[in-house]
Amino acid sequence: MAEELVDAVDHSILRLLREDGRRTFSEMAAEVGLSVAAVKRRVDRLRDVGVITGFTVQIDHSKLGWAVEAFTELRYLGTTGAGEIVQTASALPEVQAVFTIAGDPDALIWLRVRDVNHLQQAIERLRRSGKVTGTKTLMVLGTWMRS
């Protein structure tokens, strides 16, 4: 058995950074009971090994006028590869995420749009952008996300 990649202190640091990605090293150091330098070294290491892939801001998109969310299940021609699905779908600015799926459907697309009219346009562009054979769209009424 190899040494574990992430110990309990690392998990505490990750939890603190999930709650507030701009927490200072000194604040985290006080919480986990290490020095500032030790915490920085752990965070640097977590980035190096790829556990931490980045930091980002959380945005309320409805306040920016993109109030409607939906998921679209896509079915593709049997010859279509996962890479091709991601490439064509992610080209649309309305596409927030692309999940390729085992079985039926072939992909699940997370869309964020201004309104229902905009949703229709986005779905139509999705349909035309690849070898899409069918779609089913789920309109999101409410969202809860962890953290």
| Positions that interact with a copy of itself (CB under 8 A) | 5-6, 14, 17-22, 49-60, 63-64, 69, 71, 82, 86, 89-90, 95-103, 105, 108, 138-147
Q: Which of 81, 77, 92, 88 is nearest to 132 (CA)?
A: 77
Nearer to DNA, 37 or 140 (CB): 37
Which listed option, DNA, a copy of itself, none, makes contact with residue 141 (CB within 5 to 8 Å by class)?
A: a copy of itself
Sign, CA dihedral 46-97-15-22, equals positive
Nearer to DNA, 58 or 143 (CB): 58
Give every CB contact of residue 130 below 8 A, 6+ residues apart in sequence: 76, 80, 84, 85, 88, 89
Q: Which long-range contacts (CB under 8 A, 24 or more apart) does 21-28 make?
A: 21/55, 21/56, 21/57, 22/55
> Is 121 a binder of DNA (CB under 7 A)?
no
Map the footprint of DNA across residues 34-73, applying CB under 7 A.
Answer: 34-38, 40-42, 45
Q: Which residues of the shown chain bind DNA in the complex (CB under 7 A)?
A: 3, 9, 24-27, 33-38, 40-42, 45
